[in-house]
Structures are given as structure tokens and as C-alpha cells.
A and B are shown apart, each in its own frame.
Chain A
Amino acid sequence: MALPQSKVDETTARIEGLTLPDGAVWANAARTSALGRLQEMGLPGRRDEYWRFTRPEGLNAVEAAPAAILKSDEPPMFDGIDRLKIVFRDGEFDAEASDELALEGLEIERLVDATSTDIHWAKEIFGALEARGQTPVARPFAALNTAFASEGIVIRATKKVSKPISLIYLHESEVSDAMLHFVIRVETGADLTVLENGPAAARFNKCMEVEIADGGAFHHVRAQGRDHERQAVTHIFAKLGAESVFKSFTLTVNGRLTRNEAVIEMTGDDGVAHIAGAALGDGDFHHDDTVFVTHDALNGESRQVFKKVLRNGAVGAFQGKILVKEGAQKTDGYQISQSLLLDEDAQFLAKPELEIYADDVACSHGSTSGAIDDGALFYLRARGIPKGIAQDLLTLSFLAEAIDEIEDEAIAADILGRLEGWLSRRRDG
């Protein structure tokens, strides 16, 4: 099918100023092939099935729109947690600010180094999971990322890693346009936690490919900063082996545009994949979760829990799919997407999808949109809790199911503190 000329032109313009990084033969091949994919599918347009809720213009534009830098009065995210810190400033690796890239049970290095090495384990994953994730739904920004991102980290965990890898994304230039690419492999019996935090840049494109071998476990918690004007498009591609675990939670507060895509494929029996998100927006905020979970093995369990709190013109979108392939019997798939609209101006758009080709499965999905419950609010106030605090309590209770998906208590407490901070800064009375 020929691409419309407008898409060809837009795509050509977008890549014109970019250069493919040069590295080892395998890496160059992967990048060239990603570029080919991108040119074939073109950048997204409003008429594309999965771009009806979200305008891609800001992401398609050749230049990133400037974004003001927020001066935070809060302590840094995950401050109290012992972790291996890796710092990027506007998408540039900062060796000085980062910890030494070494930890027992880990092979960890910069993407530039890995992609310059002729023989490297990352070869099997880099661009490969992204390419798999392009069907049946095109994800042009992920292909763009594979082709052009030179920075990032590759991580191979071979045992239970003693502390989380903490990726810290600082936003320091108002006009930065950053791309980062991560390749992660969790070997059999290994257990790895990756934390991400920060706005990263005025415009940020991130792609993370995660392969979890049989019996491996991967935990992921991220917070996308507090900057109001920044735009971000992120992808996680995860491929799960037998009896493996994938758990991911994302906190998004503020941000003019966020598109978080997750493509999760369960290829081994008895896998567990949970993906959750809490998004809070006030004003110029558009947040889109687009999730695709494929069950292609027996007895898999997947959960999607997405909650959005919206006010003052903020828009939330959710597109979530559970695909159960033929033969993926005993699949247990759950999906919930809910929004709490704090006023009449906020908007929530949802497209939940189930596609099932096996007969012995239990799948459920639900999507709701509503306001704070008057009866509950009165009950709290009648006990002496001021209106603003009562509203916040009910808002936190709305978010609780998503927060509960974070296994680590200290990390969950940190996230909860950020939510409370965001709410209290907006509390009326």
C-alpha cells in the first residue's frame, strides 16, 4: 500500500537533519532496517486508527517546541533508595554525575559502546523486539528511535541484582530534543529493577526493549517529571519467557503531551505481566496510554490498571488491547481504565479491546469515567475533614489500585508522596 504523499513528505522532513550513528556492522544493519520500517509506515497521522485520540503534530515536527524548565521544591525522586544512578542531561550521558557502571550480576554499558562492539549479546534484541512490535499496529516513533538514538544503556542481569538501576533524566535546555534507547535482558532466575525519573528534555523519545528469559523477573517504576510543557513519546517492548514476571508502573504528572506505548508479548507458559499507570493532569495536559498485550502461551496472567485524574481541560486517553492467540488456554487477562474528572472541562477517551482466539480463558475489561462521589465526600466532611483534604483522600483512593501494583514499599511510598504533593499544591481549602 502506497503511503500518502503528505506522510512521505513529513517523514522525509523529519529525518532530514538526523544522521544514523555509525557502529558495528550488526548495529548499522539494525538501524538501517529501522529506518526502512519508518519510511515504509511513515509518521502517524490523525486518521491512523491508534492516533484518533492524540495529535501527533508535536512529535512529528522537525523542531521540538521549547519547554520551560520547572524548578522543583521537592527532594529528588527515589532519593532515599539505594540505587545505581545513571544520569542523562537533555539526553546526553553524564559520566561525572553517574555511578560507575558496574554491579554484581550485571553487564551494563552505554549503548554507544555496545553498538560499537562486533560481537555483543545486545545484537539479538536491539531493534528486534521493536520490529516484532510493529505488527499489527505501526509504532513509527519507536522505529525512528531505533534508527537514530545513539545514547542509552544496555543491561544484562544474570542473577538477582542487589539494587535498582536508576535512570535519571534531567531537563536543562528549553529546546532539547532527546532520544534514548535501552536494551535489557533478564536471564533465567535473574531479577532486575529499573527506575526512571525526570522529564528528560523539551521533547523526549524513548524506546526500551526488554527480553525476560524463563524464570526471570523485571520490575520497572518510572516517573515522568513535573515539567508542564514537555512532550514525550515512549515505548516499552517486552518479550516474556516461561514463568517470567514483568511489572511496570508509570507516574505521570503534568506534561503537554505524553504518549506511553507498551507492547508485551507472553511467549512462554505461566508468565505474569502487570502494567499500571497513574496520570494526573491540570490544564494543558494530554496523556495517552496505548497498550498491547499478547498471550501466546498457556496460563498467562496479565493485568492493565490505568487511572487518570483530570481537571481544567486536561485530556486522558487509553487504548488497551488484550490479544489471546489460538492455543493460549487458561489465560487470565484483566484490564481496567478509569478516569476521575475533577471538573466539567476534563475529558477521557478510552478504547478497550479484547481479541480472543482460545476458548478456555478468563478475560475482563472495564472503563469508567466519573466525578468525586458526593455521598462519600459528605461523609468525610461530616467527620470534620475539610473539603479539600476529603477530595484528595478520595482521589488517592481512586488511584490506589494502580499504586498497589508497585511491589516495593519504599518506592510505592515515594510515589504516593509525589501524588500527595501534586494534590496539595492544588488544594482548595
Chain B
Amino acid sequence: MLNINNLHVKLEEEEKQILKGVNLDVPAGQVHAIMGPNGSGKSTLSYVLSGRDGYEVTDGSATLEGEDLLEMEPEERASAGLFLAFQYPVEIPGVGNMTFLRTATNAQRKARGEEELSAADFLKQIREKAKSLKIDADMLKRPVNVGFSGGEKKRNEILQMAMLEPKMCILDETDSGLDVDAMKLVAEGVNALRSEGRSFLVITHYQRLLDHIKPDVVHIMADGKIVKTGGPELALEVENNGYADLLSEVA
């Protein structure tokens, strides 16, 4: 599904290398987790994959189902099936959550040559999905993320993911700021979407999320590289011992 090969990225504005040769393959149907110290480049990786400005790829490649992601506009990547649940979802005053989601859903369908969802079908779907994430009608009507609590913002990200039905979902610290119940809701939302044709890359600092969303593979990222890859037990090791031992081991 997602293949990242020797990806090197620096900041556009400064001579600062952030990703220093990332190699990562996420096969279809699998859930991979990335853990790693603050500042190691996890969010940068997710931004570069989704096409945010400000970064320059100096070497390497990233493909989604064989298609070169790095050549595409952000909206093309989304229509191709890439989704990023933001670490910090953006507030957009004046744009209603519903309008936003319907515009996005239909823009993606149009880009893929599919028929647009009718207003009625859209409403029906969104109501069902919002309900299972305990997002009330009022939140749907409000401007995108404006005045939402931290946890509400994260649930709103998952609602968008559920509506857009992407193939490759990147979740950047979706668990941070969530209370125990919200974490379960979010995990259920993710698990409900797990399928053979869909993959997940879950960025997290905590083992706890991975209790709910069982990963197939866990990667450790440090200083712009994947330094270790293993099974779910790797996450437990991080939880119990921190990164120091792990990193000295690979150094």
C-alpha cells in the first residue's frame, strides 16, 4: 500500500535536515505503529506524505499503491486514498463542519470519477457515523473545530476519516488529549474501518492506544530515521523502559 524509500527531507526555508533516510512499507490490510521521541520527525513524515508546504524532499520516494505521492497536490493525494488525522486539527471559523465534509466527500468522489452523494444520502451517513463517535448534531453544525475541546477535535478527525473512507490512514497522535472513554470510541471507530484493502499508520507515544488498536508492526523512529522494527512487544518495551536503552542498542 504505502512504500517509503530512503526519504530525505529538509526544511525549505532553512538548511535543516529532518528526515534522514526513512524506509517504511505498510502492506494492504495492516496496521503499523510509529513511536519515537519528541522531535524525531514523525509529524514531519506525515506532513510530507500529505503534501504540506515548507518541506523539500532531497532524496528518496514515497508511493501509494505504486503511484508517486510526492508528485501530487495535497487534494490529489487525498482523492488517491491518503488520509491524515492531524496532531493539531485546524480551526476554520465561518466554514460549517457539514459543508466542509460534504464538499470534501464530493470533491473526492468527483476526482475519482464517482457520482456525488445526494444531500439525503450524505446526511444519513454522517448522522450514523457521528452517532457512533458520540458527536452531536450541534457539533456538526458548528464551524470546523471552532470551540471544540481537544478530544472533540480528535473525534472529528475520525469522523472525517469514516466519511471519506480512505485506503491509507495516518493517525498522528490521535490519542493525545483523549480521556479513557474517548480513546475507546476512537479505537472502535478505527477498528470498524479495518479491512483488507485499508492500511493504518498510527503515530503514538503510548502503548495504551495500541491495546485497543492492535498493530501488526511497530517502528521506532529517532533522529529522522526508522531505527528499529518489531512486533507489538516493541511498544511494551518502550512503555516500560523508555527510549534510552533501545537507542543505545541501535547506536
CB distance from A413 to the nearest CB of B (A): 14
The CA-CA distance from A382 to B50 in the complex, in Å, is 7
Is A368 part of the contact surface with B, judged by Cβ < 8 Å? no
The CA-CA distance from A385 to B91 in the complex, in Å, is 16
B residues in contact with A374, CB < 8 Å = 53
Is B164 part of the contact surface with A, judged by Cβ < 8 Å? yes
Indicate if the CB atoms of B107 and A401 lie closer than 8 Å. Answer: no
CB distance from B247 to the nearest CB of A (A): 31
Indicate if the CB atoms of B78 and A382 lie closer than 8 Å. Answer: yes
Given known pairs A381-B75, A383-B164, the reply for A394 and B107 (CB within 8 Å) is no
Query: Which listed residue, A384, A387, A400, touches B111 by the CB 8 Å rule?
Result: A384
Given known pairs A375-B90, A389-B103, A393-B103, the reply for A381 and B74 (CB within 8 Å) is yes
B residues in contact with A112, CB < 8 Å = none
Query: Which listed residue, B51, B79, B95, touches A397 by the CB 8 Å rule?
Result: B95
Is B177 part of the contact surface with A, judged by Cβ < 8 Å? no
Is B131 part of the contact surface with A, judged by Cβ < 8 Å? no
Indicate if the CB atoms of B51 and A394 lie closer than 8 Å. Answer: no
Is A50 part of the contact surface with B, judged by Cβ < 8 Å? no
Is A396 part of the contact surface with B, judged by Cβ < 8 Å? yes
Query: Which listed residue, A385, A393, A397, A399, touches B75 by the CB 8 Å rule?
Result: A385
B residues in contact with A375, CB < 8 Å = 90
Is A380 part of the contact surface with B, judged by Cβ < 8 Å? yes
The CA-CA distance from A397 to B146 in the complex, in Å, is 13
Is B73 part of the contact surface with A, judged by Cβ < 8 Å? yes
The CA-CA distance from A398 to B94 in the complex, in Å, is 7
> Interface size of B by Cβ–Cβ distance < 8 Å?
31
A residues in contact with B95, CB < 8 Å = 380, 393-394, 396-397
Indicate if the CB atoms of B75 and A384 lie closer than 8 Å. Answer: yes
Please, what's the 1-or-0 string for A393-411, where 1 marks a CB less than 8 Å from any CB in chain B?
A: 1101111110000000000
Please, what's the 1-or-0 string for B75-89, where 1 marks a CB less than 8 Å from any CB in chain A?
A: 101110000101001
A residues in contact with B123, CB < 8 Å = none
Is A386 part of the contact surface with B, judged by Cβ < 8 Å? yes
Q: Which of A375, A381, A390, A400: most chain B CB closer than 10 A?
A: A381
Is B174 part of the contact surface with A, judged by Cβ < 8 Å? no
B residues in contact with A379, CB < 8 Å = 86, 89-90, 92, 144
B residues in contact with A357, CB < 8 Å = none
The CA-CA distance from A401 to B144 in the complex, in Å, is 16
CB distance from A371 to the nearest CB of B (A): 13
Indicate if the CB atoms of B75 and A387 lie closer than 8 Å. Answer: yes
Indicate if the CB atoms of A386 and B94 lie closer than 8 Å. Answer: no
The CA-CA distance from A349 to B40 in the complex, in Å, is 45
CB distance from A422 to the nearest CB of B (A): 17
B residues in contact with A393, CB < 8 Å = 95, 99-100, 103
Which residues between 71 and 127 of chain B lie within 8 Å of chain A, taking CB atoms?
Answer: 73-75, 77-79, 84, 86, 89-95, 99-100, 103-105, 107-108, 111
Indicate if the CB atoms of B51 and A382 lie closer than 8 Å. Answer: yes
The CA-CA distance from A381 to B99 in the complex, in Å, is 14
CB distance from B154 to the nearest CB of A (A): 14
CB distance from B145 to the nearest CB of A (A): 9
A residues in contact with B50, CB < 8 Å = 382
Is B141 part of the contact surface with A, judged by Cβ < 8 Å? no
CB distance from A338 to the nearest CB of B (A): 12
Which residues between 298 and 317 of chain A lie within 8 Å of chain B, taking CB atoms?
Answer: none
A residues in contact with B79, CB < 8 Å = 384
B residues in contact with A384, CB < 8 Å = 75, 78-79, 104-105, 107-108, 111, 164
Closest residue on chain B to residue A429 by CB atoms: B73
A residues in contact with B91, CB < 8 Å = 376
A residues in contact with B99, CB < 8 Å = 393
Closest residue on chain B to residue A374 by CB atoms: B53
B residues in contact with A383, CB < 8 Å = 78, 100, 104, 108, 160, 164
A residues in contact with B90, CB < 8 Å = 375-376, 378-379
CB distance from B73 to the nearest CB of A (A): 7
Which residues between 257 and 299 of chain A lie within 8 Å of chain B, taking CB atoms?
Answer: none
Indicate if the CB atoms of A378 and B52 lie closer than 8 Å. Answer: yes
Query: Which listed residue, B51, B84, B94, B164, touches A396 by the CB 8 Å rule?
Result: B94
Query: Which listed residue, B74, B143, B144, touches A378 by the CB 8 Å rule?
Result: B74
Closest residue on chain B to residue A398 by CB atoms: B94
Which residues between 29 and 64 of chain B lie within 8 Å of chain A, taking CB atoms?
Answer: 50-53
The CA-CA distance from A387 to B73 in the complex, in Å, is 9
Indicate if the CB atoms of B92 and A385 lie closer than 8 Å. Answer: no
CB distance from A408 to the nearest CB of B (A): 20
A residues apposed to B, CB below 8 Å: 374-376, 378-387, 389-390, 393-394, 396-401
B residues apposed to A, CB below 8 Å: 50-53, 73-75, 77-79, 84, 86, 89-95, 99-100, 103-105, 107-108, 111, 143-144, 160, 164
21 pairs, CB–CB < 8 Å, chain A vs chain B: A376-B90, A376-B91, A378-B53, A378-B74, A379-B92, A379-B144, A380-B100, A381-B73, A382-B74, A383-B160, A384-B75, A384-B78, A384-B79, A384-B104, A385-B75, A386-B107, A393-B95, A394-B92, A394-B94, A396-B95, A397-B94
Extra contacts, 5 of them, besides A382-B74, A384-B107, A396-B95 (Cβ < 8 A), are A380-B95, A383-B164, A387-B73, A393-B95, A397-B94
Q: What are the 7 A-B residue pairs with the smallest beta carbon separation, nearest first?
A: A397-B94, A384-B78, A384-B108, A383-B104, A381-B74, A379-B90, A400-B94
